[in-house]
Amino acid sequence: MKLLKHFLSQKRDEREAELYRNLIRHEAQIGGQLFGPVPANHRREFFCLDEHTWIWHEEWVDKQGVSQTKTTRYTIRPGVGIMKVQDGQEYQPLGLEESRNLRHAAEEYVRRVRSELYNFA
C-alpha cells in the first residue's frame, strides 16, 4: 500500500510540475509579445521566474544562417537594486532608465498574463 501511495504521489508531482512548466512557457510567449510582433524565425520570451528574477530570452537566425541566442537575467536585490547579467557575463547594476523600462514591462506583463491566461480565476 505504501508503494502505491508513493507512486500516486510521484505521478501527481510530475503532473503538477508539467502544468507549471506549460504555464511558464505560455506566460513567456505572452511576455515576448510585449514589444511588438515576433519576427519569423525568431523566438522571444519574457517572464517572471520567481519573486526576484525576470528573464528576457531571444533566439534567431542571422543573415548568415547562424543560430543566435541572447539571455538576460534581471535579479532584484532588495536594499541593493536591480542587477543584470547577459549570457554568463558578470552582473551589472541597472541604470535608472533601464530600471524604469523593466518596471513598465513587468507591470504590462502582469496585466497581460492575468487577462489572457488567468482571467478565468
At 69 the pLDDT is 95
What tens digit of pLDDT does each residue of 29-64 get?
A: 999 999 888 888 899 999 999 999 999 999 999 889
Q: Which residue numbers in the chain have pLDDT < 50? A: none
At 108 the pLDDT is 96
At 8 the pLDDT is 60
- Alpha carbon distance 50, 52 (integer Å): 6
Domain boundaries, the chain: 2-116
pTM listed for this prediction: 0.81
Residue of 49, 3, 43, 62 lying closest to 23 (CA atoms): 49
Alpha-carbon distance values, 10 to 4, 7, 17, 30, 45 (Å) = 10, 5, 10, 30, 30
- Alpha carbon distance 14, 5 (integer Å): 14
At 3 the pLDDT is 60
At 72 the pLDDT is 96
At 121 the pLDDT is 57
Which residues are CB-contacts of 115 (< 8 A; sequence separation ≥ 6)?
none
